[in-house]
Amino acid sequence: MATIREKKRREEAESFNEEHLALLKPLKILDRGRQERFILPDIKDLEGTPFALCTDEINFALSMVDTRVGAGLRKHNLWLYRTHQQKFAGDFILVDVSSPLRSMGELMLPTWDVFVLDLKMGGRLKFGGKGAGNQLKHWSRAVRAAVRATARERQVYPETPGAQRRWQRHASPRTVWRLVGDRRELLTFFRNLRLLRRQRHRIGDDPEQLKACFRRLQACTS
């Protein structure tokens, strides 16, 4: 029979909340040529923590906010979170806040797209979380936490407990994408995001059909 301490340890292992996300805020600077570019100053502060990034992950994160790369999402709409690496929720959560909020009484509800990303160096892009194993075990909890954290940062999360409970019952992403693959494949995905969104609306969530659409777009743009 499990002891109270074991139950508490198990509950902690299964939990995922906003404390298990680290927001990587882009900072706009001017380089030596007086050209604008974005950096992620928070990355260095994560060294030695469960949020620390390897070189490949740093390169991916920087590419997502670099105006010269053109990764497909406008920078002010992109909220990039690093996930706690012991919580089985992938490597990053991206929230695209370009969609307008939906009002329900006094509540403002998000209709944002959310991307759950697990980087696999050299891996071909897979949809629906395939190939991640247990690394995406808690992806749905991470998505809820990321939406809540983003709403809080954008000051659309209600203040009173009763309104917060109603908000959490009704707030949900417009679409959740679970993607596993090499960072270059993921960047190609985001460059073609607009077209892939249209295809998903037409064919649905089938991972194999989405992968086939991605490969066709990849062949046309390579």
Indicate whether 156 pLDDT > 90. yes
Q: With the C-alpha atoms ordered 140, 146, 148, 150, is the resulting torsion angle positive or negative?
A: negative
Domain definitions of the chain by residue range: 12-182
Indicate whether 129 pLDDT > 50. yes
pLDDT tens column, 168-205: 999 999 999 999 999 999 999 988 888 888 888 888 88
Measured between alpha carbons, how far is 163 from 161 in angstroms, rounded to an integer? 6
Q: Which residues of 186-198 are buried (b: 16+ CB within 10 A; e: fewer)?
A: bbbbbbbbebbee
pTM for the model stands at 0.88
How much is the CA Rg of the chain, to the nearest whole Å?
18
Q: What is the pLDDT of residue 81?
A: 96
State the average pLDDT over residues 53-72. 77
H/E stretch holding 201: helix 193-203
Judging by beta carbons within 10 Å of its beta carbon (0-12, 13-18, 19+), is residue 208 exposed, middle or buried?
exposed
- Which residues are bridge partners to 118 per DSSP? 180
pLDDT tens column, 9-31: 665 656 899 999 999 988 878 77
Q: Give the CA-trace dihedral at 49, 54, 59, 61, to 10 degrees.
A: -40
According to DSSP, the β-strands at 175-181 and 113-119 are parallel
Q: What is the pLDDT of residue 72?
A: 44
Report helix angle 139-153 to 161-170, nearest 10.
130
Whether the Cβ atoms of residue 176 and residue 114 lie closer than 8 Å to each other: yes
